[in-house]
Structure 1
Amino acid sequence: MLEVKDLHVYYGAIHALKGISFKVEDGEIVTIIGANGAGKSTTLRTISGLLRPKTGEIILNGVHLEKMKAKDIVKMGVCQVPEGRRIFANMSVQENLELGAYLRNDRDGIKKDFDRVFSLFPRLAERKSQIAGTLSGGEQQMLAIGRALMSRPRIILMDEPSMGLAPILVEQIFNVIKEINSEGTTVLLVEQNAYMALVTAKKAYVLETGNIVMGGTASELLNNEEVRRAYLG
């Protein structure tokens, strides 16, 4: 479904991604794990069109994305849940969700997706008129995921969805990721909580200082001695 080939990305003189390549098949959950500064967020931002690669290819179902504008990539069915949630703090929960559907005009479909988001996150239904900036961290993460779902993505890119959350909420968010995937949405997950990422995903890659140094099934990496020592304590 998604193929990244020999991707090189720079921030000025800093070589952030050094020729990474990986694939995401339709219907999979694929995770990229790695330390802070490894290039995980840069990878997602480049796929989303927020950063331009110097060289390399990003191909979604045969269509090249690397020179497209971010809004056109959303139209192609790619949506990102950004690190730090990035909700619209001065707007209501309802308005944040409506903005997720800003490229759509299928009123019935949008109503169905509101119902879907509220069934995944009943707490958002209870707070739909509340100003989003007053929500708890966990509720804001739910809103960020719900907002992405409102674009009806074919593939959803998740950047550190468990960051700053209490353990019970981390478990809840990962259960929702599995549920979203079971309903047919492909997931590319970037996550520092390597254990939760590896028990949730089907396939995994390890990113270190802009290079993919390991890849395989998530269970292979979960049982790999080197990965356990470096990322699982």
Structure 2
Amino acid sequence: MLLEVNDLHVSYGAIRALKGIFCQVGEGEIVALIGANGAGKTTTLRTISGLIRPQSGTITYKGQPITKMPPHQIVSLGICQVPEGRRVFTRMTVLENLEMGAYTRKDKANVKADIEKVFQRFPRLAERKSQLAGTLSGGEQQMLAMGRALMSRPTVLLMDEPSMGLAPMLVQEIFSIIKEINQAGTTILLVEQNAHMALSIANRAYVLETGEIVLSGPARDLANNPEVQKAYLGE
């Protein structure tokens, strides 16, 4: 397995956010983490990214333990996160944001070519490359956050709530771009409240409830599971 999370425990003071979760992401997969607000989805991603230190448990990437590594080192290894709420650098231009995405790279000569690739994938960003990121629409900021993450040339992309706050038409567009990124060779671990959309593009999925994995399996099976339909798909 490319990425493995094993018996992970995380607490915020007295609150136990993760209670021994296990999950795996294989090379080339889209794996979805679904669950209600406060289930521990974002905490899982932030712990994999090195932004949160777990109390116990291990995270391995390509067989190498990364549990105690600092975030910048984890990015250099090939794991990059698109954070919830986009978090673009609002006072920087679109182009400067993309350059920031390549901050840890040593091959500066190839950065320009990769910026062009991002502009091909997101033509709207190309049109607005000199514009301040804070003046973009929510959908454009989401595209910029994704483009910025791709600038680190990740092997694994951790995506946190990419559809949050977006109009339904834009949600469709963002999800088809996620599929394209995956088909071009990037493995994706996707946290998403829109369980319907997440399960429609994922290979496998895990259902989190109050810090524990309660169900897992092929995404299609979970989409047809009556419990999942009732709790998360509004059916």
1:89 equivalent to 2:84? Answer no
Query: SS at 2:36's partner residue?
Result: coil
Deviations 1:15-41, CA, capped at 9 Å, x for gaps: 100000011000000000000000000
Deviation at 1:115, TM superposition (A): 1.5
Listed as ranges, the matches of 1:149-228 within 5 Å are 149-228=150-229
Match of 1:15 in 2: 16
Determine the C-alpha separation between the residues in 1 that align with 2:209 and 2:150.
30
Query: SS at 1:59's partner residue?
Result: strand
Q: Return 5+ residue gaps in structure 2 as ranges.
A: none
Determine the C-alpha separation between the residues in 2 that align with 1:182 and 1:111.
22
Determine the C-alpha separation between the residues in 2 that align with 1:125 and 1:108.
20
Listed as ranges, the matches of 1:18-97 within 5 Å are 18-97=19-98
Deviation at 1:69, TM superposition (A): 0.4
- Check the 8 A contact 2:205/2:222 in 1, yes or no: yes
For this pair of structures, how many residues does the alignment match?
233
Determine the C-alpha separation between the residues in 1 that align with 2:108 and 2:81.
22
Counterpart residue identity of residue 214, structure 1: L
- Check the 8 A contact 2:30/2:204 in 1, yes or no: yes
Match of 1:143 in 2: 144
Which TM-score applies when normalising by structure 2?
0.98
Counterpart residue identity of residue 203, structure 1: R
Determine the C-alpha separation between the residues in 1 that align with 2:79 and 2:38.
24
Counterpart residue identity of residue 130, structure 1: Q
Deviation at 1:102, TM superposition (A): 0.4
Counterpart residue identity of residue 30, structure 2: I
Deviation at 1:180, TM superposition (A): 0.3
Query: SS at 1:146's partner residue?
Result: helix
Query: SS at 2:53's partner residue?
Result: coil
Deviation at 1:106, TM superposition (A): 1.5
Deviation at 1:13, TM superposition (A): 1.1
Deviation at 1:197, TM superposition (A): 0.1
Counterpart residue identity of residue 43, structure 2: T
Report the identity percentage. Answer: 67
Deviation at 1:108, TM superposition (A): 3.5
